[in-house]
């Protein structure tokens, strides 16, 4: 039965909808105009169908969380399909299922499933596209260049997944994997994401594959493919968008019932980046992150079992999801081999990351990968040295300690008295701006807020401004970080009672003297370091040296000065503006914290104190407060009178800290970890405590 609840056009008008197949045309005629028309039609039709047939899915349900792994057969890696052994795959699936894994991300390798060749005649004349030994078969699948044998193999894999109650996220265009480019022989040497002939065959691939398997119960979601943004260095975001829109429209027009997952990594919030968060959000249903500390700038400074590394995944995933306005899934993560961390440390990383990603609604955590690939002697394993020992399980089926953490967490989720985790409490909006390097700024802001005791959501300057009691403009840089109308909207929020925090990295705002009630006397290149010396307005003494490109000589007038340089020049001050407040910090705190090795060490300056100052009234409203910088706490409303508290220790060592419990609330039952005793919270190293607090006056 068709659900027409949201299909108003069907109810009001007798639409006659016809779907026409696109007949083969000569490659020379496949120009940009026809591509764009096809994309437009597909996207409009896909949107219409999605309204009619769309259904809830674990990946698109707020607060849901999937335990998953990226899968290649244990005996063959990327040769899974050409060295087809269903007995091995069944043994793999059985073992993974028994260890708490619920979702597999799988990869129909592009040249195996669409093994097309360009057949040449004399003098290099192109004759036809066919298989290696002859013309394409005269079947719908064959004419689209698809291997019927491999399609049957995939059906067997999907059937085995159903047998062991596993769900599949299917990476459709798997043309990049573990350091090697994989494309059909007929397309080798072409610009894979922009060449019309390549687009032509990709559209045929996804239409055939999705059409064949759209009714299989094992399939949870479609995925563009594995990090398809690595298959070609596109020149601009328009090229990336056209490729994404073509495939998205095709997939959704055939199967509107399942979400489309991005599968990309290293997207950007910048307006002119080639692969933008907003474009993937416009063409997919679920954004994805692949947060590996080794490959991500600023993430590999500290040990894998410490705060900076562990918070990487949640920070990046929330940045994508918040800016894109779509669910975001942590689709790949892991530790890049034994030279990055030991087995016990890897387990500690996984345990802490699972609780963190759950608390921050990352929709799941999929480990890379299921099995080690140490014995494989063909590309990419013969040269990609970091790819060999990334599995949860060794090639001889010996389980590693890390898989126990996945099983344990899977069992924990299954025993919870609720199906989905309510959204965490947030007090602020962190606004990323043009001109800055947005990732390190977003990353460090996230960590500092976590250490200070509050949470925020991300936005990009120019997006419709969310209501919040606190706005952060961290490490702004350049001559136009915000436009005048946006700046006016921010000031209006402050005028009505909000707090605005600004830290400056050689930036220029539309106005600053009047809103802050100060006067900037000079702005010059700084000689040497900035020496930060707190005044008695800061609750604790804080003195340190840091980097800053510019020195702003300021007449603070009536503003409160929280810190000065040695010459008395203000560097951290606050002014009232209407009913609200504006804090100004004259150096890029967040960028410096991200760039500086050791900035989060125990003996480093307590940079979080600056965030505690700006958010203190909001932090004090939380039900649970504690002062250990290595413990992160999130608060989730279960009901009007009950809250779930998740406290996570990002330190490898066990900790004990005193809590402040808001008046009128009391500790209730503990769901995980050491039960808090009165106001004392004890957490084992790299572990968590999850408990309920109740109102005394329901």
Q: In terms of domains, do 603 and 496 share one? A: yes
Average pLDDT value for the chain: 93
Which residue is it, tokens 């996230």? 446
Q: For residues 414 and 428, what is the distance between their CA atoms, to the nearest angstrom? A: 32
Quote the number of domains for the chain.
3
Is residue 78, in this structure, part of any structural domain at all? yes
* Exposure on the CB side of residue 209, measured as CA atoms within 13 A: 35
CA angle 601, 605, 609 (to 5 degrees): 110
- We report the CATH number of the domain holding residue 324 as 3.20.20.80
Q: In terms of domains, do 592 and 657 share one? A: no
Q: In terms of domains, do 27 and 86 share one? A: yes
Measuring CA to CA, how many Å separate 669 from each of 417, 425, 677, 688? Answer: 11, 20, 12, 15
pLDDT at 671: 98
pLDDT at 29: 46
pLDDT at 158: 99
- We report the CATH number of the domain holding residue 641 as 2.60.40.1180
Which tokens sit at 246?
């073509």
Q: For residues 127 and 124, what is the distance between their CA atoms, to the nearest angstrom? A: 9
Q: In terms of domains, do 312 and 336 share one? A: yes
Say if residues 225 and 166 touch (Cβ distance below 8 Å): no
Is residue 420, in this structure, part of any structural domain at all? no
Q: For residues 442 and 319, what is the distance between their CA atoms, to the nearest angstrom? A: 7
Q: In terms of domains, do 548 and 408 share one? A: no
Q: For residues 645 and 97, what is the distance between their CA atoms, to the nearest angstrom? A: 30
Is residue 3, in this structure, part of any structural domain at all? no
pLDDT band at 8, cuts 50/70/90?
very low
pLDDT at 540: 72
Q: For residues 143 and 147, what is the distance between their CA atoms, to the nearest angstrom? A: 10
Average pLDDT (401-418) is 98
Average pLDDT (212-233) is 98
pLDDT at 541: 85
Note the pLDDT tens digit of each residue in 46-67.
444 444 444 579 999 999 999 9
pLDDT band at 37, cuts 50/70/90?
low
Cis geometry, peptide bond prior to residue 380 (ω within 30 degrees of 0): yes
The residue out of 587, 619, 651 marking a domain boundary is 619
Is residue 1, in this structure, part of any structural domain at all? no
Note the pLDDT tens digit of each residue in 142-153.
999 999 999 999
If DSSP codes are grouped into helix, strand and coil, which group holds residue 9? helix
pLDDT at 678: 86
Is residue 205, in this structure, part of any structural domain at all? yes
- Residue 20 pLDDT more than 80? no
Domain of residue 451: give its range. Answer: 428-619
Q: In terms of domains, do 464 and 481 share one? A: yes
Q: For residues 677 and 281, what is the distance between their CA atoms, to the nearest angstrom? A: 45
Note the pLDDT tens digit of each residue in 270-294.
999 999 999 999 999 999 999 999 9
Measuring CA to CA, how many Å separate 624 from each of 396, 429, 667? Answer: 47, 21, 10
Q: For residues 234 and 273, what is the distance between their CA atoms, to the nearest angstrom? A: 10
pLDDT at 352: 99
pLDDT at 600: 97
Q: For residues 454 and 624, what is the distance between their CA atoms, to the nearest angstrom? A: 11
Is residue 423, in this structure, part of any structural domain at all? no
Q: For residues 360 and 611, what is the distance between their CA atoms, to the nearest angstrom? A: 20
With a pLDDT cut of 90, the percent of the chain lying above it is 90
The residue out of 595, 619, 643 marking a domain boundary is 619
Average pLDDT (111-130) is 96
Q: In terms of domains, do 519 and 549 share one? A: yes
Non-local (6+) Cβ contacts of 413 within 8 A are 65, 67, 358
Note the pLDDT tens digit of each residue in 310-321.
999 999 999 999
Q: For residues 243 and 601, what is the distance between their CA atoms, to the nearest angstrom? A: 44
The residue out of 356, 387, 415 marking a domain boundary is 415
Helical (H) or strand (E) element with 211: helix 196-213
pLDDT band at 30, cuts 50/70/90?
very low
Is residue 40, in this structure, part of any structural domain at all? yes
Q: Which residues lie across from 510 on neighbouring strands?
A: none
CA max distance for the chain: 89
Note the pLDDT tens digit of each residue in 615-637.
999 999 999 999 999 999 999 99
Q: In terms of domains, do 630 and 689 share one? A: yes
Say if residues 149 and 113 touch (Cβ distance below 8 Å): no
Q: For residues 355 and 469, what is the distance between their CA atoms, to the nearest angstrom? A: 27
Q: In terms of domains, do 59 and 162 share one? A: yes
Q: In terms of domains, do 647 and 597 share one? A: no
Which tokens sit at 379?
């590309």
Which tokens sit at 492?
């209006």
Q: How many CB atoms lie within 10 A of CB 188?
A: 12
Closest CA to 647 of 615, 616, 680, 678: 680
Non-local (6+) Cβ contacts of 655 within 8 A are 628, 630, 631, 649, 682, 683, 685
Average pLDDT (465-492) is 98
pLDDT at 38: 52
Q: In terms of domains, do 387 and 455 share one? A: no
- Residue 36 pLDDT more than 80? no
Note the pLDDT tens digit of each residue in 529-562.
999 999 988 877 899 999 999 999 999 999 999 9
Backbone angles phi, psi at 411, to 5 degrees: -65, -40
Non-local (6+) Cβ contacts of 595 within 8 A are 298, 440
Measuring CA to CA, how many Å separate 690 from each of 82, 315, 451? Answer: 46, 21, 18
H helical segments located in 332-381: 343-359
Q: How would you list the strands of the sheet with 134-135, edge to edge?
A: 117-120, 126-131, 134-135
Q: How would you list the strands of the sheet with 631-639, edge to edge?
A: 631-639, 642-649, 688-695, 665-672
- Residue 385 pLDDT more than 80? yes
Q: For residues 553 and 568, what is the distance between their CA atoms, to the nearest angstrom? A: 10
Say if residues 129 and 116 touch (Cβ distance below 8 Å): yes
Note the pLDDT tens digit of each residue in 238-252.
999 999 999 999 999
Say if residues 158 and 215 touch (Cβ distance below 8 Å): no
Is residue 421, in this structure, part of any structural domain at all? no
- We report the CATH number of the domain holding residue 510 as 3.40.50.880
Q: In terms of domains, do 307 and 335 share one? A: yes
């Amino acid at each position: 039965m068709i659900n027409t609840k949201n299909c108003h056009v069907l109810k009001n008008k007798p639409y006659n909808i016809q779907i026409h197949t696109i007949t083969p045309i000569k490659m020379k005629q496949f120009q940009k105009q026809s591509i764009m028309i096809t994309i437009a039609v597909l996207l409009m039709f896909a949107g219409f169908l999605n309204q009619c047939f769309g259904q809830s899915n674990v990946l698109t349900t707020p607060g849901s969380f999937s335990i998953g792994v990226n899968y290649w057969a244990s005996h063959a890696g990327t040769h899974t399909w050409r060295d087809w052994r269903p007995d091995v795959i069944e043994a793999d699936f059985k073992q993974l299922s028994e260890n708490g894994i619920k979702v597999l991300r799988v990869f129909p390798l592009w040249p195996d499933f669409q093994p097309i060749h360009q057949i040449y005649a004399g003098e290099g004349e192109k004759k036809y596209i066919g298989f290696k030994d002859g013309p394409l078969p005269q079947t719908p699948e064959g004419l689209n260049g698809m291997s019927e044998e491999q399609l049957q193999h995939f059906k067997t894999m999907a059937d085995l997944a159903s047998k062991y109650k596993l769900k599949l996220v299917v990476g459709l265009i798997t043309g990049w994997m573990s350091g090697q480019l994989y494309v059909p022989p007929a397309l080798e040497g072409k610009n894979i994401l922009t060449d019309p002939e390549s687009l032509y065959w990709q559209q045929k691939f996804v239409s055939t594959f999705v059409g064949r398997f759209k009714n299989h119960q094992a399939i949870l979601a479609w995925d563009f493919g594995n990090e398809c943004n690595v298959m070609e260095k596109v020149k601009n975001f328009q090229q990336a968008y056209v490729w994404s829109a073509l495939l998205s429209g095709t997939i959704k027009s055939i199967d509107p019932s399942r979400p489309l997952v991005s599968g990309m990594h290293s997207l950007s919030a910048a307006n002119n980046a080639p692969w933008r968060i907003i474009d993937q959000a416009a063409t997919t249903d679920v954004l994805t992150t692949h947060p590996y500390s080794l490959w991500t700038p600023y993430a590999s400074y500290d040990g894998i079992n410490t705060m900076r590394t562990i918070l990487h995944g949640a920070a990046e995933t929330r940045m994508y999801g918040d800016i894109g306005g779509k669910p975001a899934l942590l689709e790949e993560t892991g530790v890049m081999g034994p030279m990055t961390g030991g087995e016990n440390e890897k387990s500690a990383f996984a345990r802490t990351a699972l609780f963190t990603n759950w608390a921050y609604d990352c929709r799941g955590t999929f480990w890379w990968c299921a099995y080690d690939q140490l014995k494989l002697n063909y590309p990419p394993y013969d040269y990609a040295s970091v790819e060999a020992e990334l599995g949860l399980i060794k090639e001889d089926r010996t389980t590693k300690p890390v898989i126990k953490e996945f099983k344990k967490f899977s069992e924990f989720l299954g025993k919870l008295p609720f199906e989905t985790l309510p959204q965490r409490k947030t007090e602020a909006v962190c606004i990323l701006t043009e001109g800055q390097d947005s990732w390190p700024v977003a990353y460090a802001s996230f960590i500092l807020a976590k250490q200070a005791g509050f949470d925020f959501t991300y936005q990009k300057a120019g997006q419709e401004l969310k209501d919040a009691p606190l706005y952060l403009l961290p490490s702004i840089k350049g001559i136009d970080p915000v436009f005048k109308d946006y700046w006016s909207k921010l000031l209006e929020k402050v005028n009505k009672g909000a707090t605005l925090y600004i830290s400056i990295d050689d930036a220029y705002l539309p106005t600053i003297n009047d809103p802050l009630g100060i006067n900037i006397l000079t702005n010059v290149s700084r000689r040497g370091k900035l020496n930060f010396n707190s005044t008695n307005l800061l609750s604790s003494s804080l003195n340190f040296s840091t980097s800053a490109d510019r020195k702003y000589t300021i007449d603070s007038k009536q503003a409160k000065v929280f810190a000065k340089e040695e010459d008395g020049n203000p560097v951290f001050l606050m002014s009232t503006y209407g009913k609200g407040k504006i804090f100004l910090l004259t150096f890029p705190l967040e960028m410096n914290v991200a760039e500086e090795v050791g900035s989060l060490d125990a003996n480093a300056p307590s940079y979080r104190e600056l965030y505690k100052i700006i958010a203190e009234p909001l932090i004090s409203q939380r039900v649970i407060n504690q002062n250990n910088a290595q413990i992160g706490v999130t608060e989730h409303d279960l009901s009007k009178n009950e809250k779930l508290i998740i406290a996570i220790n990002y330190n490898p060592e066990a900790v004990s800290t005193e809590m402040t419990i808001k008046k009128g609330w009391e500790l209730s039952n503990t769901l995980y970890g050491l039960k808090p005793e009165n106001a004392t919270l004890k957490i084992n190293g790299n572990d968590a405590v999850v408990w309920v607090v109740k109102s005394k006056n329901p």
